[in-house]
Structure formats: structure tokens, C-alpha cells
Amino acid sequence: MPKKSSLPKILFAILILAILALIGTGVYAVNLIKPVNSADTTEQQFVIPKGQSIIKIGERLKEAGLIKSVLAFRVVVKNNNLSNKIQAGSFKISKAMTLSEIAQTLTTGTQDSWVTLQEGWRNEEIAESIARQNFAQFDKDEFIKLAKGSEGKLFPDTYLVPLQITSEQFFDLLTNTYERKIAALDLTDNPQNLTANQVLILASLVEREGRGVQDMRNVAGILMNRLEIGMALQVDATLQYANGYDTTQKTWWKEPLAKDKETISPYNTYLNPGLPPTPICNPGLDAIQAVINPVPSENLYYLHDSTGLGHYAQTYDEHLANINKYLR
């Protein structure tokens, strides 16, 4: 046991060590929020995808050599209430920036923006969606004019695009992406020996009518069966396309009425046998591949119940039974 007179010295030594430890920790923490290299002002492009977590963003910043500590990044983001303010997009960051400067830049300094264009949209819907975002040089009417005749070839996907992108550049981006995506596919290699354009037209119908990959393959097979025997396709989506925009319901895809089946239009697949003259929307790869590789069957009819599940039938009587069972 130490002598009583030595206790104050021991306690004093412990206190000094604790103070030194705190100072050391403080110095270390301060060092973590300083720039990685204050002399290196070279800007790097740092892209944040939609939905990426703060932890993952921190890890990627660390991997890129832009910050010293993932934990320190998370602390700075939390202490400055930036968790819900960091944006998806493209940013210019350098190793000369402090941790706080980097975190703030990720909330306001994006050079680009993410745009998601859904499968099954008409050209007008694509134009409207883009126009609602912050692209100063994008003109909706100009884009629609450029896209006339290209329905089906504006590839639906998620794109990271410059904020200063023009209507023409956006059109080129979508059509070039379509060409690149289908380059590996032989559109003419299909059971009905359809041309590439016919495959795209049928895929646009399948995109609007199908519910998921497997159902689209079933629907594609059924529509091909109808084509083979000369039966009218009777696709409601083509009536919707012919009807155009509904100002009351504010949609391009209003549910058709019985009277719409009498509409005089080349897109009325109840009155006109065969395919409509052009695609009715912009299909994704799943719909295109469904036409190339449909499910073979003897079915001629399909419907979807309230849950979206498909039910198929070979005869009209079987189809009526499905209607009574699943829709009434």
C-alpha cells in the first residue's frame, strides 16, 4: 500500500494523464475534420446515386481519398442536421476542402440531376416529367417535336444528366441509350418472324397490358396467337392511346369505355386486325424480351384480377368464366 502522503501525487498524475488523453483525443478529432491535403485543390467528380445511405456515402468519400474518417463525416452530417439535405447528383470536391465544406457541398453543389423515366410512358409523359425538374434549357414542346415518330425508342431508365442539358441533348441521350440497349438483341429472332419494328410495336402493347416479367411473356404469347389466326388484338391500351389526354381525370391512360371500341382510329385494335401503325408507348427491355421469348400456349384470352394477377384462357367461354370469377 502506498503511503498516505503519496496519494495526492498519484491522483495528480492520473489527472494529468487524463487531461493529456483528452487533449490528444481533441487534437485527433480536430485533425479528422481538416482537409486531407490543403495544397491539393484538384476537383474530383463525386456521384451520389438515388437513395444511397449516409454511411455508404461516407465510405465512398473515404475510398476516394476525400475525407479521413467515415465516423467523423457521419458526426458532422448529424451535428449540422444535413442527413435529409444531402442530394443525389454529381458534385465537384477536392482534397483541400474541410469535412464541413464537403458535407455542405453535397447539399447544394450538384452539377447534375437524376431523372427516372418509367416504362410504358408516352413521349408526352416523358416530356412532362422532365419539364417538372430543374433543367433551365429544356423546352417541353421542342422535345415533343423532336420525338415525333420516335415513340418506343425513348428508352426508359434512370439517368444522371447535366442541369444545363437541352431538349435536343435529352432526345439524343434517350434514343442513343435505346440503340445501345438493344444492340445485343436480335429483334427478328421471334416465333412469329416479326420485323424489328413490329417487335417494338407489340412490346409497347405488352408493356401497357402486362404485370411483371412472367405475365408479360404470357400476354406476348397470347397476342402472338391472335396475330397468327387473324384475330383482332382487342387491346384496351391502344384505345387509351387513341383517346389521348383526358382533361377531367388528368391522365393519358383513362380507362376506356364500351363506346371507345367504336372509335375510328388506326389504333383501335378492336376494329382493325393486326398491329397498330406505331408503338403506343416506350417499352423497357423486359417487354421487348417478352416478345422475343413469349410463353408458348394455346391461350387466346387474358385478364387481370384486382391484385394484378393474370388469368388466361383458350376459349371465350373459359374467358367469360374467368371474368365472372375474378372481376365480378
Both 241 and 286 in one domain: the answer is: yes
Q: Point out the least confidently predicted range of 81-85, 155-159, 258-262.
A: 81-85
pLDDT higher than 80, residue 45: yes
The C-alpha cell at 291 is 416478345
Q: Determine the average pLDDT of the residues in 131-146.
A: 94
Percentage of the chain exceeding pLDDT 70: 91
Both 288 and 210 in one domain: the answer is: yes
Both 206 and 293 in one domain: the answer is: yes
In a domain, 310, yes or no: no
pLDDT higher than 60, residue 4: no
Task: Kindly report the length of the chain.
Answer: 328
Both 164 and 208 in one domain: the answer is: no
What's the 3-state SS for 128-162?
Answer: HHHHCCCCCCCCHHHHHHHHCCCCCCCCCCEEEEE
Both 87 and 155 in one domain: the answer is: no
Both 204 and 289 in one domain: the answer is: yes
Identify whether the C-beta of residue 204 lies closer than 8 Å to the C-beta of residue 282.
yes
Of the three residues 110, 128, 151, the one that is the final residue of a domain is 110
Phi, psi angles (nearest 5°) of residue 149: 90, 0
In a domain, 14, yes or no: no
Q: Point out the least confidently predicted range of 63-72, 107-116, 160-169.
A: 107-116
* pTM tops 0.95: no
**Residue among 111, 108, 170, 160 nearest 137 (CA):** 170
- Residue-wise pLDDT for 297-326, tens only, equals 999 999 999 999 999 999 999 999 999 999
Distance CA 283, CA 12 (A): 76
Q: How confident is the model at residue 257 (pLDDT cuts 50, 70, 90)?
A: very high
Both 249 and 269 in one domain: the answer is: yes
In a domain, 127, yes or no: yes
- How far is Cα of residue 155 from the mean position of the Cα atoms in its chain? 11
**Residue among 82, 83, 72, 63 nearest 26 (CA):** 72
- Where in 173-316 does DSSP place strands (E)? 301-304, 310-313
205 vs 84, higher pLDDT? 205
Of the three residues 110, 138, 172, the one that is the final residue of a domain is 110
Q: How confident is the model at residue 26 (pLDDT cuts 50, 70, 90)?
A: very low
Q: How confident is the model at residue 134 (pLDDT cuts 50, 70, 90)?
A: confident
Both 51 and 33 in one domain: the answer is: yes
DSSP state of 306: T
In a domain, 91, yes or no: yes
Both 123 and 84 in one domain: the answer is: no
**Residue among 117, 115, 105 nearest 46 (CA):** 105
User: What value, to the nearest 5°, has the Cα angle with vertex 302 and ends 304 and 232?
Assistant: 130
pLDDT higher than 50, residue 56: yes
**Residue among 164, 224, 166, 222 nearest 191 (CA):** 224
In a domain, 152, yes or no: yes
Both 154 and 131 in one domain: the answer is: yes
In a domain, 311, yes or no: no
DSSP state of 298: S
In a domain, 5, yes or no: no
Whole-number pLDDT of residue 38: 85
Q: How confident is the model at residue 50 (pLDDT cuts 50, 70, 90)?
A: confident
Maximal C-alpha separation, the chain = 109
Both 202 and 290 in one domain: the answer is: yes
Reduce the DSSP state of residue 102 to 3 states and report it. Answer: helix
Q: Point out the least confidently predicted range of 3-12, 203-212, 310-319.
A: 3-12
Site of grid cell 425508342:
153
Q: Determine the average pLDDT of the residues in 75-97.
A: 89
- Residue-wise pLDDT for 166-203, tens only, equals 999 999 999 999 999 999 899 988 888 999 999 999 99
Whole-number pLDDT of residue 267: 97
Reduce the DSSP state of residue 244 to 3 states and report it. Answer: coil
Both 78 and 149 in one domain: the answer is: no
Distance CA 131, CA 140 (A): 6
In a domain, 240, yes or no: yes
Average pLDDT, the chain: 90
**For residue 104, what is the domain's CATH number?**
3.30.1490.480
Query: Which domain covers residue 248, as residue numbers?
Result: 196-297
Work out the burial of residue 100: count CB atoms within 10 Å of its CB; fewer than 13 is exposed, 13-18 middle, 19 or more buried: middle
Whole-number pLDDT of residue 12: 57
Q: How many domains does the chain have?
A: 3
Of the three residues 59, 90, 110, the one that is the final residue of a domain is 110
